[in-house]
Structure formats: structure tokens, C-alpha cells
Structure 1
Amino acid sequence: MLATISLLIASYALSAQAANAGVTTRYWDCCKTSCAWNGKATVTHAVTTCDKSNNPLSDVNATSGCDGGPAFACADNAPIVISDTLAYGFAAVNLSGQSEADWCCSCYKLTFTSGPVIGQTLIVQASNTGGDVGGAQFDLMIPGGGVGAFPAGCQSQYGSLTGWGAQYGGVSSRDQCSNLPAALQAGCQFRFDWFKGADNPNVNWEKVTCPASLAARSGCIRTAEYVEPSPRFRSSPEHD
């Protein structure tokens, strides 16, 4: 009887883990992200884009740099280290049974379950939807991570003909990060420092409330998560 109960418990645990199991890949194609367009989800503001020099653009309807326009992914969409075991970043997301209305600007806690980063946590905000991204997949935005199917963006923004390294996978060593523009080098080095050179590790994932500092980088908060500032901290004429 005890053996049967143990098997049932083990089976339940495996099922629960499998329900939230996911995979990761990596990319940086410099393109305007899908969630940067108006109307993709109920949010306070679409994801901010930047011009070629990484200055924020106010026009949410600006055409993507991958289509000859002026809008690109901002350099500060690269991952940032919070501690030895926690980092924040952005990702292209695809979750089975959901759509952009569900995931654009939502945040997900990714706990790595394989590779050298096992046990470490990356909280990502969904800023993009990859046409070549499968279900329960998080395509992490890491400079030098490969341009994938869209090489035109980095060619237009930085004049890079290859997007640095392999089209899929990107650069293969930390030293190669020095080939990237200065604004992207720290983000590239992240993969070989905090991320320990991990190659598409698996994760367990769960949806979480976006950290304020992460949402501040994208400028995008899902309306359901927005908290009106206290009147005490609002601007007033005598303090403007």
C-alpha cells in the first residue's frame, strides 16, 4: 500500500513538473519586437523601441528596422544580473493554448533544470513572439545570441552582415563579444558569465508579477498589474 501511495505521489509530482516544463533558446536580431505594436494586449503602453543609436522612440507605429524602418530593439533589453542566482531579461514567447493577448508584457519566472545554470532563476518579460518559436519555448534576448530568421535588423542598425557568430546560436566565446557594438557587449558577456555558457537549458516556468525595474526598461505593464501611484508621490506644482 505504501509503495502504491509513493508511486502515486511521484507520478503526480512528475505531471505537475511536466505541465510547467519549458525549453529555452537565444537570439538577438535587433528587430522591433512584436509586443512593441499597439493593440497586441491590454497594457499601459506598448514595448518601447529605439532608433539606431539606442535613443527611445515615441512613435509606436514606427516600422521595424527589419523592414527598412527606424525602430529597433533597445540595447537595454539585454539581460541584467541581480545576484549570483537571479537575473532579469526579455524573451520571445510561445505558450500552447495562448496568444499574444495573454503573454505580451507578462513576466515569467524561469528556473533552470539542466546545464551549468541548474537551480538559477531568470525572470523574463515577454516582449516578442517568434514565428519559429514553439510551444512552451522562451527565446531569450541575449546580444550575440544569433539573428535567427531575421538578419536584416542588425545589418541595418549596426552594419553587421552576420549578426556576430552563427546565424543560429551566435558567438561561441566571451572573447568574441568584443566584436559587438559597445552598447551590446555586457549583454553578450552575460551568456559566458552569469549564464555560464549554457546552451539552451530547460526550465520550469511560472507566470509572476513583473519586477518594477524590468517593466521600467520596456515601458510596458499589463493593465491588470498596474498600480496607481499614491497621491503622496504624485507630482505637484510646488515640486515640479
Structure 2
Amino acid sequence: MHLTLKTLALVALSTGIASVNAVSGSGKTTRYWDCCKGSCGWSGKAAVNQPIKSCDKSDNPLADMAAKNGCESGGQAYMCSAQAPWAVSDTLAYGFSAVKLAGGTESSWCCACYKLTFTSGNAKGKQLIVQATNTGGDLGNNHFDLAMPGGGVGIFNGCTNEWGAPSSGWGAQYGGISSRTECDSFPEKLKAGCYWRFDWFGNSDNPDVTFEEVTCPKAITDKSGCIRNGQTPT
């Protein structure tokens, strides 16, 4: 369904996160982890304090925001392991996502946060708050491609260069690995995010969601470094 523009006063949600003058609607999810620098990692994409952090091959944050994408020849910038999801409680988790919303552009969603409520699959009823760090030409409208280690590299694969993953990434190119035990062999920094998929997320397979934009939790922006102008993370 197309986005519905809501003009709302700031209100406290059950999650403790405030709703903003926002877009909301229903959408779909997929999963990925391609290790590439996120598209919101360049200056000028949106009105923000700074682009999202990228990391070098050793997973150290880069000071040079203009560093070339590691998924391109000669590139040095990759997705940081800190952009993996984690559980806050049994029913709430935080993470990051590639995003494409109907009627919007990267300038409207880069570094914005969205509260997703899962409406199908094993995670039905749970909520995941994600920050938009990326987008993709292969995404449909109102589509959240959730970043989780082992979720499949999709079109691009920086994981072989960054982490020594197999030439086609871990597991299937689309969808990634198929069992929790496969996470055991992952690099130490990626294991927790990989296990998250099979534990908190219940190995849900591309569940549907309802979504609304919310003020970003500080716990998320502390990891990404990116805050939209006019917002104060909570």
C-alpha cells in the first residue's frame, strides 16, 4: 500500500520511542549482508550531521567519508560489523536496513529510523526499529532489506574481500545461510548478528510489516554516527 502522510504531535510509544511527522504504511522485508559501504555513507545524500560510518577491511571506522566503496575495484570502505541487529528485549530489537519507500528519495529516508511491526512469520507481533543506511535498485516500494550477517550478499559481495567469505558469500547469494550452526564459523564480530536471525527473529523468512517513522534511538545512532538534522536521538 502507498505511504500515508501523518501529521502527528510527538507521542510516546510503548517502545519509549517518539513518533515524528512521518510516513507510515505496510511493506515487505528481505534480508542481506553484502559488506559494501552503504549508500547513505556519502555526503550530500540527506540533511544529516554526517554520513553513516564505514569501516576498513579490519573493521576500523574510517575518518575519510569519501573513501571508495570496497565493493568496487580498489575500494577501501565496507559495512561495519556494528551495523548488525541486536535484541533489546524479547519483543523489541534494533538494527539497520536498506530502504526504498514509495514517493520518497534517499534524501528523505537516509539515516531516518522506522519502527517495523512484523505481521507474518515467526516474528509476528515483534517490533524492530531500523535506521536506513542503504538503498538498492532491486528493491520494490515500501521495502526494507534488513541487514543481518549471513543474510545473503545479493547483487554485490564485499564479504570475500573484507572477511574472507566464500566467493559467493555465505550460503545462497539471495537468502544466505540456512541454519544457526553455520554462524559458528563466522568471524567473531559477526556471530552475534548471525545468531540473532535464528534466535530473536525466529528465522522468519521475509515477513510482512507495518511501519512508521520514529525518532532514532541513541543506541542506534551511536553505532552509525548519523543523525538527521532537527532530530535528537532518545
TM-score interval (norm. to shorter) = 0.7 to 0.9
> Greater CA deviation, 139-148 or 176-185?
176-185
Q: How does 1:170-181 map to 2 (within 5 A)?
A: 170-181=176-187
Q: Who is 1:233 aligned against?
A: none
Secondary structure at 1:89's aligned position in 2? strand
Deviation at 1:214, TM superposition (A): 0.5
Q: Does 1:84 align with 2:90?
A: yes
Aligned AA (1:206): E
Where does residue 58 of structure 2 map in the other structure?
53
TM-score w.r.t. the length of structure 1 is 0.85
Q: Does 1:130 align with 2:136?
A: yes
TM-score (norm 2): 0.87
Partner of 1:224: 230
Aligned residues: 209
The amino acid of 1:158's aligned partner reads: W
1:89-128 correspondence runs (5 A) = 89-128=95-134
How many Å separate the matches in 2 of 1:100 and 1:74? 20
Secondary structure of the structure 2 residue equivalent to 1:223 = coil
1:53 CA drift (Å): 1.1
Q: Structure 2 regions of 5+ residues with no counterpart?
A: 1-5, 7-23
Pairing 1:23–2:28 present: yes
**1:15-52 Cα distance to aligned partner (Å, 9 max, x none):** x9xx7110000000000000000000000010000111
Higher Rg? 1
The structure with the largest strand share of the pair is 2
1:42 to 26, 47, 52: 47
In structure 1, distance between residues paired with 2:206 and 2:51: 28
Residue 71 of structure 1: how far off its partner (Å): 0.5
Q: Which runs of 4+ in 1 moved over 4 A?
A: none
Q: Is the 8 A contact 1:164 1:179 kept in 2?
A: no
Q: Which has the higher helix share?
A: 1
Alignment-derived partner of residue 148 in structure 1: 154
Report if aligned partners of 1:144, 1:177 keep a CA contact under 8 Å in 2: yes
